A and B are shown apart, each in its own frame.
Chain A
């Protein structure tokens, strides 16, 4: 992804950069939306990169032709790209089931712990098992969707349109899902699991569903990424870009709000991919360290937003349905109970 460093000196350069930037950001926005589906119901997934990676690899090996020469990977059936996308989403869901079964029925925090190292493990499996995914050489020559239909240099526009269309579809899907009875149940589970249980909801099954939906979308994002970049290797799926970066997008944009997730992807993405552009005009002491500084700022953004604007740029809306004119959620902001207790305690100590 560092190849995005393109000079903006010419108009063409600026257009090319913007098209590439928007395509990349759309893919990250899908990841942020997928993470939001999980996070907004209290599922803490610290392994986004793993789902992203699984989707990318599955779609790649299914659509690539059979391996030749020094290459060695499984499948290689040359299937159509949409089939690859489908199986990428399924692969994400399978990984979610594997991780969810032991963790989701237990304490909330176990899933976070179980996911923290998954990406690293998948990377080392991809790197060390011969004949699986070409080890550290990576997979190359992955075709783009409709690439053979387009002549000349216009393909980057097609890539952008593909990414935007998928993003729009995902946005529509997750919005509908959150507004549905299913989504409202999930929100009820997050806000008060015991009450939801008392109303007869199988909370484990609902949360598993949300975890799987998010994981499928992450797998899909991985597939789009693989067909867009044409080359993937285990190094592509670092924890920093694949996981932490997406978390920053979500926290900055507004967790619990789908529009916020997309906005966060654009804002944080612009900050991240835009820094190389100004690198040359920075003073030397800063210019040479700009990559570490922006990594530092990615972490800082998370902490700063949690402290001073925990709701993010766009807050979650309290109103759960357009059929509810005013609900208790509107009158009682989150944490109202704690606030009341604190006030009480303060009064007593006086």
Chain B
């Protein structure tokens, strides 16, 4: 259970930490971008999408078929586009006007409110599911029961992490991204088109947010504030792994997810949301640069 939730947190946190590292923006709208990804995919698999012929079918014992795959792609493209539009309309102008971290943070908070309100405006405050009905769990080693969907979630996370590794360490673009993250001024001086890097970072971050959102919708419910509620765990995973470090975020996400689920052994389920907060405070007190962060 913890690994599943942890995978979803890790997916979101990898995008968040990338944006923080490369752009220096604490993106408080990241959770609501997940929400948008979740609902864009829902749009495709729900009745509106069915009219276009997407909803039918299932893969083996998974609870979904081609509809959700198409939905996933639509969500990734949609949220990436949304991120680029926000960069164009808001962040770039603020940057030109000389805004710093605080201004970006408040602007992202404003956009987070807008994104969430827009979801409610379009889809209303109700909860939805991608596919109705009960999806039975199957038994694996040691009597642990797992739903096939949950294998899929973990698989997607592993695949996304591998692709991200390839992008960052095996392509020129990734190299430029890492250079911009280390020293934006120097990167610009050495002829890197930093505007392009920024756009690319928003696209990658947006796609990861969309993935995380769809996985969250698959695991739990499709709800307008589901992404926003995950914001603190995302930041906890980011800080735990060291800001700007996607691998740290991956490990951090899994740790936060597992810690949350394991904690219910000792504390009441209602207090579970407090665990990421405790992790944040503990990391800040003991090792502020995170598990794998470099000291700056």
Using a CB–CB distance below 8 Å, which chain A residues touch chain B? Answer: 42, 44, 46, 101-103, 106-110, 112-114, 116-118, 120-121, 124-125, 127-129, 240, 244, 247-248, 251, 289, 292-293, 295-296, 298-303, 306-307, 310, 335, 338-339, 342
Contacts and interface: CB of A to CB of B under 8 A. Distances in A.
A118 B106 contact: no
A129 B267 CA distance: 10
Contact of B284 (A114, A293, A295): A114
A109 B112 CA distance: 17
B232 A120 contact: yes
A244 B94 contact: no
B90 interface: yes
B120 A295 contact: yes
Across chains A and B, which 4 residue pairs bring their CB atoms closest together, nearest first?
A: A128-B270, A302-B110, A117-B232, A299-B113
Contacts of A248: 110
B268 interface: yes
Contact of B106 (A113, A125, A306, A338): A306
B105 A292 contact: no
12 contacts: A42-B102, A101-B285, A106-B284, A116-B232, A124-B271, A124-B272, A125-B271, A125-B274, A129-B270, A300-B114, A306-B90, A306-B94
A116 B281 CA distance: 13
A337 to B, nearest CB: 9
B66 interface: no
A301 B111 CA distance: 10
Contacts of A307: 90, 93-94
Nearest to B113: A299
B284 A299 contact: no
B123 to A, nearest CB: 10
Contacts of B274: 121, 124-125
Contacts of B115: 299
B109 A292 contact: no
Interface string B90-128: 100110111101110111011111111110110000000
Contacts of A114: 277, 280-281, 284
B113 A251 contact: no
A125 B107 CA distance: 30
Contact of B110 (A42, A303, A339): A303
A116 B110 contact: no
Of B90, B96, B106, B107, most A-chain CB atoms within 10 Å: B106
B90 A303 contact: yes
B111 A303 contact: yes
Given A120-B229, A302-B113, A338 B270 contact: no
B112 A299 contact: yes
A51 B97 CA distance: 33
Of A106, A117, A296, most B-chain CB atoms within 10 Å: A117
Contacts of B206: none
A116 B120 contact: no
A128 B271 contact: yes
B231 interface: yes
Contacts of A251: 106, 110
Contacts of B116: 295
Given A116-B231, A125-B270, A306-B94, 8 more contacts: A106-B284, A117-B231, A124-B273, A128-B271, A295-B116, A299-B113, A299-B117, A310-B99
Given A109-B105, A295-B120, A338 B98 contact: yes
A102 B98 contact: no
A165 B111 CA distance: 35
B202 interface: no
A110 B114 CA distance: 24
A112 B20 CA distance: 14
Contacts of B102: 42, 44, 108
Interface string B261-293: 000000011111110110011001100100000
Of A109, A125, A300, A301, most B-chain CB atoms within 10 Å: A109
A299 B32 CA distance: 13
Contacts of B90: 303, 306-307
B257 interface: no
Interface in B213-272: 229, 231-232, 235, 239, 268-272
B21 interface: no
A114 B236 CA distance: 9
B117 A117 contact: no
B78 interface: no
B121 A121 contact: no
B98 A335 contact: yes
Nearest to A107: B288
B205 interface: no
Nearest to B296: A107
Given A113-B26, A114-B284, A292 B117 contact: yes
A247 B106 contact: yes
Given A117-B276, A124-B273, A128-B269, A244 B109 contact: yes
Nearest to A113: B235
A318 to B, nearest CB: 17
